Amino acid sequence: MADESANLSATMGLIVNGGNAKSAAFEAIHAAKVNDFTTADAKLKEADNFLTETHNAQTGMLTAEANGDHAKVTLLMVHGQDHLMNAITFRDLAGEIVDLYKKLAEQK
């Protein structure tokens, strides 16, 4: 059975970094809305960095599972995976919205 404290740490990494990634992506949209594209691009990069951290936490969990170190699936772990999936989706959408605001600004 997997080390419970390592699983908790990885799960919290999913939640915290996933939430931070989503927040940074949201800030990128707000910056683009007021034509602050330097900040928007920086916030998208920040979101990507948080997603990398989140991905690393998830990869550690998946590697342990593949090596036969099975973790007990908890509601907290499922919540962490939800945070990751939502953050990835939101980041992708934020990038598209920022690009749209850039195109609108170029047309003015």
97, amino acid identity: I
Instruction: Tell me, yes or no, if 79 is annotated catalytic.
Output: yes
Cα separation, 92 vs 25, whole angstroms: 9
Name the amino acid, one letter, at 7.
N
Q: Write down the catalytic residue from 30, 55, 70, 79.
A: 79
Residue 82 is assigned to a ligand binding site: yes
Whether residue 30 contacts residue 98, with contact meaning beta carbons closer than 8 Å, is answered with no
How many other C-beta atoms can be found within 10 angstroms of the C-beta atom of residue 42?
15
Bind-site residues = 82
Annotated binding-site ranges for Mg(2+): 82
Catalytic residues: 79
